[in-house]
Amino acid sequence: MRLISANALKVIERLQGAGFAAYLVGGCIRDLLLGVRPKDFDVATSATPDEIRDLFRNARLIGRRFRLAHVRFGREIIEVATFRGSGNGDSGEEGRVVERGRLTRDNVFGSEAEDAWRRDFTINALMYDPATETIRDHVDGYEDVRERRLRLIGDPRTRYREDPVRLLRAVRFMVKLDLTMEPDTAGPIVAMAPLLEGIPPARLFDEILKLFMTGHAWPTYQALVREALWPQLFPGLFENPAEPPKLVENALLNTDQRGAEGLPVTPGFLFAAFLWHRVHAAAEAMVEEGMPPVDALAAAGEEAIVAQARKVALHRRFSTIAKEIWFMQPRFRKRRGKRALRLINERRFRAAYDFLLLRVYEEPELAELAQWWTDVQEIDPEDQAKRVQAAPREDGVKRRRRRPRRRKAAGAT
């Protein structure tokens, strides 16, 4: 427990000193017990949000669905939440609202034990009291951590129905922490997967970030497919999701690899890969009808993003990255002259080039082109200018059809 944040300890000390119960809770305790460095430290307390605010000058109350306090220390934020209850039988209580089995608001204060029970998995419900150095376990979570077992608290079907995002969280924790799902927790997932239809696209996007951007993208993808959850998030993308296109598999593996090397990763790149085949096919069809390739890609890309956004809301800054990556693909074929130099210096060049490398797995005829772009980046600017002068005029990649009409010179950059 040496890894515990000093600021979190300060917060707990202050709360306990004022006579409140206060413990570290949730993911941080689970991670510490599993030997993982916690991302952040959450505190649960008997103090109400107003009482928390009165105790800390650096506290700010946030949240509507779930009011809690953020206590800020420089760049670190300690999240402090009042114990929540289940609200069972409190008729007339408007803090907790269950609609057709779905929990839509959750603001009823409760006891420490109730707060543990309303959490999702037993391993996420452990509390730790730094004053006495003891674990407080109301749900037999400690044993589950020891056994590396993922188990929902209470009746799994009821808990999944209350909040179907728990279906995704189950897969995420299983993969990320290398846990075994207890059979009653694993059993209902496939059948209940369609419940995700009711989840707002913005919330699904937040969850997708955690699923794919935290170092386990490829095994997480495979588990999502096995549990029938993938088609709920990205319907109709691949003929057989169990064997996704090579480009997609490699994009997922790349994301993990880059993460492990501390290189930046963006969900824009991953979305570009997920949707690529749909966009590519639609664009090809438009080109057959005489549309210039760049325009066709723009139209097809826009369409694919709008369609996907009905399920998972991709923030504009990420969809923009995906589009920039796609739209640069045809431009790689033009390697002669100033245009090529301009491309190299564009902001999204690197990501688009990485994407071109991925495409080579499926379109080996692009290998020579990709290699040319690899080489040209490595030489200094003067040589680059010579290199692009000597480059083949057209793309050098065999095309199946004649171009129906000549493109005007690219003016807009």
Query: Which positions are annotated as active-site residues?
Result: 40, 42, 120
Q: Among Mg ion, ligand ATP, none, what binds residue 115 when CB lies within 5 to 8 Å by partner kind?
A: none
Q: How far apart are CA 344 and CA 353, in angstroms?
A: 9
Nearest distance from residue 28's CB to Mg ion, in Å?
Answer: 7
Residue 166, contacted partner among ligand ATP, Mg ion, none, CB below 5-8 A by kind: ligand ATP
CA angle 166, 111, 41 (to 5 degrees): 55
Q: CB under 5 to 8 A by kind: which of ligand ATP, Mg ion, none does 124 bind? A: ligand ATP
Query: Nearer Cβ to ligand ATP, position 164 or 245?
Result: 164
User: For binding to ligand ATP (CB under 6 A), which residues are involved?
Assistant: 26-27, 39, 42, 119-120, 124-125, 163, 165-166, 210
* d(C-alpha 206, C-alpha 204), whole Å: 5
Minimum distance between the CB of residue 26 and ligand ATP, rounded to whole angstroms?
A: 3
Nearer to ligand ATP, 31 or 324 (CB): 31
User: What Cα–Cα distance (Å) separates residue 381 from each residue in 335, 370, 376, 377?
Assistant: 15, 19, 9, 9
Q: Which does 119 bind (CB under 5 to 8 A by kind): ligand ATP, Mg ion, none?
A: ligand ATP
**CA dist., res. 399 & res. 408, Å (int):** 19
Residue 226, number of CB atoms within 10 A of its CB: 14
Phi and psi of 128, rounded to 5°?
-135, 130
Of all residues in this chain, which one has the CB nearest to ligand ATP in the complex? 27
Q: Which does 256 bind (CB under 5 to 8 A by kind): Mg ion, ligand ATP, none?
A: none
The residue with its CB nearest to Mg ion is: 27
Minimum distance of ligand ATP from residue 165's CB (angstroms): 5
Residue type at 376? Answer: V
Residue environment code for 338-365, b if the CB has 16+ CB neighbours within 10 A, otherwise e: eebeebeeeebbebbbebbbbbbbeeee
**Closer Cβ to ligand ATP, 29 or 305, answer by number:** 29
Binding site for Mg ion (CB under 5 A): 27
Tally the C-alpha atoms within 13 A of residue 11's C-alpha that lie toward its C-beta.
Answer: 33
29 vs 287 by CB, closer to Mg ion: 29
Give strand ranges (E) for 146-288: 149-150, 180-181
CB of 79 to Mg ion, least distance (A): 8
